[in-house]
Structure 1
Amino acid sequence: MKKALELYLHIPFCIRKCEYCDFLSGPADERNRRTYLDALLRELAAVGPQAEDYEVTSVYIGGGTPSLLPGEWMEKLMAGVREGYCLAKDAEISMEANPGTLTKENLAGYRRAGINRLSLGCQSTDDAELKLLGRIHTWAQFQESFRMAREAGFINLNVDLMSGLPGQHLASWEESLETIARMEPEHISAYSLIIEEGTPFAEKTLELPDEEEERQMYERTGEILQSYGYQQYEISNYAKPGKECQHNLGYWTRREYLGFGVGSASLFQNQRFTNLRDRSAYAAFDGKVESIRRDLETLTVREQMEETMILGLRLIRGVSRSEFQKNFGVSVGEIYGPMLEKYSRMGLLQIKGDRIALTRAGISVSNPIMADFLLDE
């Protein structure tokens, strides 16, 4: 029986960088985009033989703005996946898309390519907030893109929303949530803005919501989306029943994945590694995989345990005690007993049957809790 594998394909192009964005992306002309796509196809072909014992259960095409690529280019890219890998018949194939870049013709091409899930980067339903973020689209353009995606036959849509924006208040956040929920996408990702070093936002003095208002925003997110039939299954993700993002679930449960393209990361055969970040150097890829690999690290048992807990606690269902025992030959209590007792006593962690999970109170302070699950060397 083949093992499950996920693929991530990075498309590092965008029309312009948003004010908050620290992703590996930027503008490029058509010639450079074509050159990059050819290198991506060469990498897919070169790595394929290493994955002969695997079945690909999900493909995620992220960026950047993958929807800048024409439909026929995406068909060519997915043909490369099918030629080199065993793609499951029911594989989830997701692609990120920015409102304002979609056309009916390209959407039809994405469907022919086999893409069955679109993730639309809305971020806000307020034009003033969108302008402040440096987004290239308006609220009206998002609505048009959403409508076109539905008309093209996409029955699995995610919408990204962002809270904690400069000048944003609880009422405007609630309005964005309710407006999107009424449109009934299958999935909503609701993230809090993080000011990253090296971004335009990091160089500005911003009027951000205070800690209490951010906490209220997070609480209201769960309450509002639950009232519209969405179930929270991860700290920042909500879905209609059965519509959880399978690709991201794989990340949080440490399913093996291979990343392709500049700067992409992989977890494969108990090793983590990334690709080089220089787009020009990547475009010259000659088929020798080792020439583009960077930061190769073989994970110790300790590191695997840490990842299991830190990633797994992002899920509302938490970590399986029996799976931990099966994977590592020891109980989670033997390794993490003091931490489990400490946070259970504080009401931040709960142990129910086979599962260890954060409580609602624990989710709001999840970062320091997760950091506590790093073991001493």
Structure 2
Amino acid sequence: MGTETKKISLYIHVPFCKAKCYYCDFNSFAGMSGRIAPYFKALLGEIELYGERLKGYGIKTIFIGGGTPSFVDAEYISAVAESCRKHFDLLEDAEITIEANPGTLSFEKLAAYRSMGINRLSMGLQACQDDILKSIGRIHKYQEFVENFQQARRAGFSNINVDLIFGLPNQTLEDWKETLDKVAGLEPEHISCYSLSIEEDTVFGDRLKAGELKPADDELDRRMYHMAKDMLTSYGYGHYEISNFAKSGFECLHNLTYWKAEEYAGLGAGAHSYLDSVRFNNVYSVEDYIDCISRGTLPVEDEHPLDAEEKMSEFMMLGFRLIGGISITEFMQRFGSDVYALFGNKIKMLENKGLIEVIGDCIKLTDSGLDLANQVFMEFI
């Protein structure tokens, strides 16, 4: 019998945007249209370089993220999809996701994505009130999102995620309820709800420093989170990760790779990888990235090999993000060690604080642990 193909995930970064949202601290840039063609030429070069390195691996998921991948012409995305099929062993049932923003989509673009084999669409909406959308730097109105969503259905997408953010400046509980109701009413297969975090080097970060922005208070933020959990589960979505809800069978396989501390390769400027027990990332600058690839070298910087202890800590920290928690058996199978022998004291302490519970084979966050998840993660850093 032949050895089973090792399965990994692939992340592909498209750093271009029409405009930068006020909360965004991703490696993305507006006003760089002139660099799109050379960037994609480099990206195809990197895919080719990785073709050798990933021989013997089966690709189980591809996630084309950004930036705004839907901002660039569909031909660029098509060339990437084609190159991935040529250089990698893409599994037949691979989940292939593209991130897209209203205001950069058309029926033609969506139909093109479907015809190139992309089978999952992740749409950024954030809120359904036009005044809130404008106040966070979004380039579209709610109605545009609805039209694009319906076009995606017509184009044949039967697996759509919608991204939402709560705790936005001046967003009320009523606004958030309206957003959840409207989005769930459209029946996407997956909904992600993130609490706004204000990062340095963003428009919101600058406004916070200047005293021009008042973040949502913790109590309102938590009420919004609980509202999302209650409403979305009542609409038939399973809560399977701290911020993520899915109809049965539509959990995001790509993100599960991260949460289960499995291997993935990241391609493009600033993309992160975890391969052969090493975490590393590509250079962030678009120019440096293009330059590296043009010289025929992988644009890698900041390599960090993980030792056994770090791997186990990461497995715990990431696994606690999942509502089902960590499997004691799986820990044993993966590391050949008993989770209690290593982390028994921490598990006991967090249990006593009411932040985690042990149910059968699973160690997971309690309801109050979900609210104070960072306290749990800190124990395993």
TM-score, normalised to structure 2's length?
0.96
Residue 218 (1) aligns with residue 225 (2): yes
Q: Which amino acid aligns with 1:64?
A: G
Residue 131 (1) aligns with residue 134 (2): yes
Partner of 2:355: 348
Q: CA deviation at 1:105?
A: 1.4
Q: CA deviation at 1:289?
A: 3.4
* 3-state SS of 2:23 partner: coil
* 3-state SS of 1:255 partner: coil
Q: CA deviation at 1:27?
A: 2.2
Q: CA deviation at 1:92?
A: 0.3
Partner of 1:96: 99
Q: Which amino acid aligns with 1:360?
A: D
Partner of 1:335: 342
Q: Which amino acid aligns with 2:96?
A: I
Contact kept? 1:325, 1:332, Cα under 8 Å: yes
Partner of 1:208: 215
> Which region of structure 1 is more displaced relative to structure 2, 275-284 or 181-190?
275-284
Query: Is there any run of 5+ residues in structure 2 with no aligned partner, and where?
Result: none
Contact kept? 2:16, 2:33, Cα under 8 Å: no
Partner of 1:36: 39
Residue 53 (1) aligns with residue 59 (2): no
TM-score, normalised to structure 1's length?
0.97
Q: How does 1:234-313 map to 2 (within 5 A)?
A: 234-284=241-291, 285-286=293-294, 288-290=296-298, 292-313=299-320
* 3-state SS of 1:289 partner: coil
Q: CA deviation at 1:342?
A: 1.1
Between the aligned partners of 1:341 and 1:297, the Cα distance in structure 2 is 31
> Which region of structure 1 is more displaced relative to structure 2, 106-115 or 53-62?
106-115
Q: Which amino acid aligns with 1:354?
A: D
> Which region of structure 1 is more displaced relative to structure 2, 323-332 or 252-261?
323-332
Partner of 1:116: 119
Between the aligned partners of 1:68 and 1:20, the Cα distance in structure 2 is 19
Between the aligned partners of 2:354 and 2:232, the Cα distance in structure 1 is 24
Deviations 1:16-54 (A, max 9, x none): 111111111112454420110010000000011111111
Contact kept? 1:47, 1:289, Cα under 8 Å: no
Q: CA deviation at 1:295?
A: 0.5
> Which region of structure 1 is more displaced relative to structure 2, 81-90 or 102-111?
102-111
> Which region of structure 1 is more displaced relative to structure 2, 224-233 or 21-30?
21-30
Partner of 2:172: 169
Contact kept? 1:4, 1:255, Cα under 8 Å: no
Q: 2:332 aligns with which of 308, 311, 325?
A: 325
> Which region of structure 1 is more displaced relative to structure 2, 197-206 or 84-93?
197-206
Residue 198 (1) aligns with residue 205 (2): no
Question: Where in structure 1 do 4 or more consecutive aligned residues deviate above 6 Å?
Answer: none
Between the aligned partners of 2:30 and 2:220, the Cα distance in structure 1 is 36
Q: CA deviation at 1:287?
A: 5.7
Deviations 1:57-101 (A, max 9, x none): 000000000001222221111011011100011000000000011
Between the aligned partners of 2:47 and 2:62, the Cα distance in structure 1 is 12
RMSD: 1.1
Deviations 1:130-156 (A, max 9, x none): 011000011111111111111111110
Between the aligned partners of 1:369 and 1:31, the Cα distance in structure 2 is 45
Between the aligned partners of 2:22 and 2:59, the Cα distance in structure 1 is 35
Between the aligned partners of 2:231 and 2:248, the Cα distance in structure 1 is 16
Q: 1:145 aligns with which of 143, 148, 168?
A: 148
Contact kept? 2:107, 2:148, Cα under 8 Å: no
Identity, % of aligned pairs?
44
Query: Is there any run of 5+ residues in structure 1 with no aligned partner, and where?
Result: none
